[in-house]
Structure 1
């Protein structure tokens, strides 16, 4: 009996102590909230609002340009000389330029046959085209399969070269650079590049090469990506919405207004002399394609984007592959921005307006601000404002402008308009990963040059997954993403607080966003592939 009383007294004392400590923390919070936290948070709100305005102006401007292009029907064929290549009886096939087709690949077991077959199926005089397979595979069995596939096409009369290296220095950039050193490349005028999952239609060269032939100022002709697996899962639908905007608006506007845009690394044809003049392929970042495009543009070369010419390819359908890809796509541009900034500022060959476009619109707003403001404002600052009512958060910056930005983006994929809420939540969650990668690139941190090839499932593996069941179990630890879960917990806490004590009904958005962070934090998105 005595011991029981002592235990009760001890527990009561502990409870009182804990209550007292919590009370002290609450009192401390109220003491510092108005004089310290509120001014700092208001400053963050104002900075984020400025970034929202920058994005809003950029989106509206691009929308107006696109509307003008559509109304005036300013197709590339009207802006540049374009006509079918005419046969020359005397010169025969020698009147056609010689084209090199490069296919860089790395352990592409599932898709190598598709890409090689599509490249070998391109319609072009057989003695004026060379298909070059650059195989950096580390799996010897895959190397053998790729080599045998090349030999199979060679036996059909295709001029195909199988090239390997004894190292992977420079990754894709290193492979492309090494491929350009081959003696037979000196005979070629242009080079078409296709990643291992890309499948160009046979007439691809007939629709791109004439721009280069008849317009000596053009260095690059870029085609649109056409996704073959966009309906595979909700995650691929979300990617389709984002990438459709990139191609239909960003690339189109850049091509129309400044004859400049970022090379997408594949589905494009380059003038080889332009590559050489720009300094060739460099492996200083994970976006060697963008690096080359910026350097070539600063030399005065022009680019053409063909939105009506699509090249089939595959979206990453596993969350793991998608995260690796997004890290590379976010970290690389930030790193390149830091490294190439002096070259842009010192350049005298192109006009001030074009340099300003590259610096401000192309790099700063789209590659830096867009990632940071999406995470910091919508996932940190807005949730925190419900805890600090002294902070003024205008609706035009928190609701109206972001809504316009979102609608303009989603309008490019009308078939997925009903998924717009899911897309917003998905992009906000991914902004954490992209923001982290952006800072890694800006400040040259640990994973700045991490290059992991995006996994492609291909038709063969997908058919096996169907037999195994659409959802295959994975180890729990492989799916867990701690930062996303921590962000979800914080947003959930803010939502509960706003539900009980707030007056602005932000909790509706916050509960949904917290749920999205939890779902993606536990990895329950995309296609699951057995390890």
Structure 2
């Protein structure tokens, strides 16, 4: 009995210590979030680096065309932008994607449709496969439910003028925030993650992560950090921390957001 009481007391002390540490972290993050502002947009690079937009998707029939058309509308200096649709679908999505890609290609858009009939490595495998098909300096990544604005690249690529910057992540906004109580709660939690926690980490030069979409990577950073690993469940966090350990900086933009869905 005495042993159990002692064990309970030790557990209580450890939990209190953990709460103190977490409270300090959240207070520090909140203070940093209130005090710091988004980094200023650097001057336009000269020349602009080449950019490849990767759109990984699988069986996203109802939103695939939307994200492809948004990517095709991105403004960027001529001849420096290409698009890859990384399609691992095994349903009617592939036919729809092929039709849209062919239409855009006829309009002069530099876009390719990479369909893996026997995909391996999940999303990471698709991204790595696409990486092997481009020599672009910068990789921009959008999931199928994202709707990047036309000025996305013009508002983000200049940050790569700093040779130490390996990744730029922007905040998510939510198209279906008001759909239900569940989506409102989810949006509130994710708003806190982006606007406070991750922004404070980036501003304090602490480890933060790329969130899988609505961001850009320097191609050199991906390759120097070991590439996308399909055997890892959270490939975005894995690459982010490997890049951080290699000395790369990750920039987080709080005031600029890309609409997506919950």
Pick from 75, 78, 84 the counterpart of residue 44 of structure 2: 84
* Kept in 2: contact 1:126–1:158 (CA 8 A): no
By percentage of residues, which structure has more strand? 2
**Deviation of the 1:38 alpha carbon:** 4.5
Q: Confirm or deny that 1:251 pairs with 2:188.
A: no
Q: Aligned partners of 1:314 and 1:258: how far apart in 2?
A: 29
Pick from 139, 142, 148 the counterpart of residue 194 of structure 1: 142
* Kept in 1: contact 2:38–2:254 (CA 8 A): no
Q: Aligned partners of 1:254 and 1:39: how far apart in 2?
A: 37
How is 1:222-241 mapped onto 2 (pairs within 5 angstroms)?
222-241=169-188
* Kept in 2: contact 1:259–1:302 (CA 8 A): no
Q: Who wins on radius of gyration, i.e. which is larger?
A: 1
Q: Which residue in 1 is equivalent to 2:126?
A: 175
Pick from 144, 158, 178 the counterpart of residue 210 of structure 1: 158
Q: Which residue in 2 is equivalent to 1:99?
A: 51
Gaps of 5+ in 2: none
Q: Confirm or deny that 1:118 pairs with 2:67.
A: no
Q: Aligned partners of 1:44 and 1:138: how far apart in 2?
A: 50
Between the two structures, name the one with larger relative contact order (CA 8 Å, sep ≥ 6).
2
Q: How far does the alpha carbon of each residue in 1:80-120 deviate from its partner, in whole angstroms, 9 at most, with x for none?
A: x701356xxxxxxxx33211000000100121011111111
* Kept in 2: contact 1:126–1:159 (CA 8 A): no
By percentage of residues, which structure has more helix? 1
Q: Which residue in 1 is equivalent to 2:167?
A: 220
Q: Aligned partners of 1:45 and 1:106: how far apart in 2?
A: 46
Q: Confirm or deny that 1:145 pairs with 2:96.
A: yes
Q: Which residue in 2 is equivalent to 1:165?
A: 116
Q: Aligned partners of 1:106 and 1:157: how far apart in 2?
A: 25
Provide the secondary structure at the position in 1 that maps to 2:79.
helix
Q: Aligned partners of 1:267 and 1:225: how far apart in 2?
A: 7
Q: Aligned partners of 2:206 and 2:128: how far apart in 1?
A: 25
Q: Confirm or deny that 1:314 pairs with 2:261.
A: yes
Aligned-CA RMSD value = 1.7
Q: Confirm or deny that 1:51 pairs with 2:18.
A: yes
Q: Aligned partners of 1:296 and 1:279: how far apart in 2?
A: 9
Q: Which residue in 1 is equivalent to 2:29?
A: 62
Provide the secondary structure at the position in 2 that maps to 1:118.
helix
Provide the secondary structure at the position in 2 that maps to 1:76.
coil
Gaps of 5+ in 1: 1-33, 87-94, 316-531
* Kept in 1: contact 2:90–2:117 (CA 8 A): no
How is 1:461-476 mapped onto 2 (pairs within 5 angstroms)?
none
**Deviation of the 1:54 alpha carbon:** 1.6
**Deviation of the 1:49 alpha carbon:** 1.8
